[in-house]
Amino acid sequence: MTSVVEVPAAEAAEPTAADWAAAVAAVRGGQAGGTVLLVCHVNPDGDALGSMLGVALGLRRLGITQLQATFPGATAGATGGGYAGPPEVPEPFRWLPGLDLVVPADSAYPAPDLFLCFDAASASRLGALADRLDTAGAAVVLDHHASNTRFGGIHLVDPGAAATSVVAEGLLSRLEVPLDAEIAQCLYVALATDTGSFRFDMTTPAVHEMAARLIATGISPGEISRRIFDTRPFGAVRLYGDVLQRAQLEPDAAGGVGLVWTYATLDDLARHGQKAYVLEALIDSVRCAAEADVSCVIKQVGPAEWAVSMRSKGAVDVSRVAVALGGGGHRLAAGFTGRGTVDDVIGAIRAEL
Ligand code: 5GP
Ligand code: MN
């Protein structure tokens, strides 16, 4: 859920005035009565959901009525209720305003007049919904990954932004949508998630100024933090015990800066009656090991398929490793999908390091 964000490279290109103007014009076109579809990346985290829903609420305030939000694999139960299997809106985010706009992925407008996507560094992160990049009248990409592949037509990609929600707020303000408490809750969740609760290097004065604007709408940072960071089923506490118990330290790995890693299987989840989302914060418990610069959590998602989270304290660019293994991310926080056994996956990582 949390992701470290790197200090912006000096050459990082932010959206130009022309990019912003094109995005505003595209939304104004959508206001004229067309269909608007918002999509965020697969296995959405706080920034993906928060920036998508914050903008969705803003577009609703502008009077856009044919408005849908979704993400790859979203089902009818995505916003709550009896749905049991993945993918779904993770429990910590089930209270977010705007979830009533989320529709199952397979009932999203097939050819929307306007398509906006959030926090996706590449089209593949949109799963089957990536086809809207071709079918939509206009496609606006809101993102902050340095590894963004510049897919889609209109790029609001700012590698210097701490979160996609920074870009989202920029768009809302140019659309002259005033911040209200509901929009602010969404954008605050996104900002707090991607800055690790305002701990990471990207926590600039501008980030705190944005947080101040959001909090000024009357939202409760303490309550939000409790819900998204500090609430977990007891079974998850026990599960963390099992998984942290088997963590391994390899001081000589990564050219001597050290690697700490662990893994969690579907059986671990089943044994403790837990869903996959509870493992999102596991990397934060692993990466604190002082002896290793690089940390890694390998989470089983299928018989021979693993979602891999990597973090660096600064000596290693883990996005380079992730990209080499088919994924992406930031210099200090990245991930990819691994295949085979745990040994295969950690072997591939060791080799890249
Ligand atoms: P996390 O470890 O929190 O899931 O992800 C950390 C960062 O790595 C996020 O910024 C995310 O964009 C990126 N990331 C994680 N998994 C993948 C993946 O499978 N593919 C790509 N392209 N990026 C990923
Ligand atoms: Mn993000």
Helical H runs in 99-180? Answer: 132-135, 164-174
Could you tell me the pLDDT band of residue 201, with boundaries at 50, 70 and 90? confident
Q: Do 341 and 331 contact (CB within 8 A), yes or no?
A: no
- For ligand 1, whether the C-beta of 309 sits within 6 Å is yes
Q: What percentage of residues in the chain have a pLDDT greater than 70? A: 93
Return the pLDDT at 42. Answer: 92
List pLDDT tens digits, range 26-58: 999 877 789 999 999 998 999 999 999 999 999
- For ligand 1, whether the C-beta of 333 sits within 6 Å is yes
DSSP 8-state secondary structure symbol assigned to residue 128: G
Q: Give the Å distance between the CA of 125 and the centre of ligand 2.
A: 12
Closest ligand to C-alpha of residue 318 is: 1
Could you tell me the pLDDT band of residue 2, with boundaries at 50, 70 and 90? very low
CA atoms of 44 and 196, how far apart (whole Å): 16
Which residue lies with its CA nearest to atom 14 of ligand 1?
335
Residue 77 confidence (pLDDT) above 90: no
Which residue lies with its CA nearest to atom 11 of ligand 1?
329
Residue 210 confidence (pLDDT) above 80: yes
Q: Give the Å distance between the CA of 335 and the centre of ligand 1.
A: 4
What is the model's pTM?
Answer: 0.88
- Nearest atom, ligand 1, residue 283 CA: 2
Mean pLDDT for all residues in the chain: 92
Residues with CB under 5 A from ligand 2 (ion): 47, 119, 164, 194
Which residue lies with its CA nearest to atom 4 of ligand 1?
309
Q: Give the Å distance between the CA of 327 and the centre of ligand 1.
A: 7
Residue 205 confidence (pLDDT) above 70: yes
Return the pLDDT at 30. Answer: 74
Could you tell me the pLDDT band of residue 7, with boundaries at 50, 70 and 90? very low
Angle (CA) 60-228-312 rounded to 5° is: 110
List pLDDT tens digits, range 79-135: 554 433 335 788 899 999 999 999 999 999 999 999 999 999 999 999 999 999 999
CA atoms of 154 and 175, how far apart (whole Å): 16
- Report helix angle 46-61 to 181-194, nearest 10: 160
The mean-pLDDT minimum among 13-17, 84-88, 307-311 falls in: 84-88
- For ligand 1, whether the C-beta of 87 sits within 6 Å is no
The mean-pLDDT minimum among 45-49, 75-79, 292-296 falls in: 75-79
Q: What is the mean pLDDT of residues 240-255?
A: 97
Mutate to test the pocket of ligand 1, among 47, 261, 284, 309 (most ligand atoms within 8 A of CB): 309
- For ligand 1, whether the C-beta of 219 sits within 6 Å is no
Inter-CA distances, 244 with 66, 237, 266, Å: 47, 11, 16
Could you tell me the pLDDT band of residue 78, with boundaries at 50, 70 and 90? low
Return the pLDDT at 76. Answer: 67
Residue 292 confidence (pLDDT) above 50: yes
Residue 221 confidence (pLDDT) above 90: yes
Q: Give the Å distance between the CA of 340 and the centre of ligand 2.
A: 28
- Nearest atom, ligand 1, residue 310 CA: 2
Closest ligand to C-alpha of residue 193 is: 2
Bond before 87 cis per omega within 30 degrees: yes
Residue 14 confidence (pLDDT) above 90: yes
CA atoms of 166 and 186, how far apart (whole Å): 12
Structural domains of the chain, with CATH: 17-229 (3.90.1640.10), 234-352 (3.10.310.30)
Angle (CA) 262-202-240 rounded to 5° is: 20
The β-bridge partners of 333 are 311
Report which of residues 127 and 76 the model is more confident about.
Answer: 127
